[in-house]
């Protein structure tokens, strides 16, 4: 009667099946360890790149804020020197706004309160009434 599970060994000098499989398994584990080390190195490199990117973005945002502040100050001084700044009263505070600032405020308020974007029509009317004399 033929064997139920025939041996696939044809060479009598070949290693037994269990020893061959054990050696192949050890080689596979070695390869896996090598690949895991490479993955760890790549992940560390990517984390380093991400930290550098985030720091660059934060620096650019800070520089942009500082630049905007300096531009506002420059425009304010220029408008005062030319006598074109318009006083704007908020509570008890008086602000002098340039045309560019008034326009920027109007656009920002329109984005927030315009009825076409789901805003409050009364609030938009209030802002328009406050900004119309300044333009």
What is the pLDDT averaged over residues 3-20? 60
The domain segmentation of the chain, as residue ranges, is 15-83, 85-135
Q: How confident is the model at residue 1 (pLDDT cuts 50, 70, 90)?
A: very low
Instruction: Strands of the chain (E only): list them.
Output: 86-90, 93-97
Distance CA 127, CA 24 (A): 78
pLDDT(2) > 60: no
Each residue of 23-66: pLDDT tens digit? 999 999 999 999 999 999 999 999 999 999 999 999 999 999 99
Each residue of 82-93: pLDDT tens digit? 766 666 666 666
Which residues does residue 94 pair with via DSSP β-bridges, in sequence order? 89
| pTM for this prediction | 0.39
What is the pLDDT averaged over residues 77-82? 76
Residue 71 and residue 100 in contact, taking contact as beta carbons nearer than 8 Å? no
Distance CA 103, CA 97 (A): 10
**Backbone torsion region of residue 17, taken as left when φ is above 0, otherwise alpha when ψ lies between -120 and 50, otherwise beta:** alpha
């Amino acid at each position: 009667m033929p064997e139920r599970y025939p041996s696939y060994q044809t060479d009598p000098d070949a290693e037994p099946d269990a020893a061959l499989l054990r050696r192949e398994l050890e080689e596979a584990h070695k390869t896996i360890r090598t690949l895991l080390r490479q993955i760890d190195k790549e992940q560390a490199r990517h984390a380093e790149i991400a930290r550098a990117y985030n720091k660059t973005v934060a620096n650019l945002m800070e520089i942009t804020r500082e630049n905007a502040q300096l531009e506002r100050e420059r425009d304010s001084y220029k408008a005062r020197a030319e006598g074109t700044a318009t006083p704007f009263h908020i509570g008890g505070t008086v602000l002098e706004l340039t045309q560019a600032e008034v326009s920027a405020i109007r656009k920002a308020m329109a984005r927030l309160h315009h009825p076409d974007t789901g805003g409050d029509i009364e609030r938009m009317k209030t802002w328009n009434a406050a900004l119309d004399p300044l333009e």
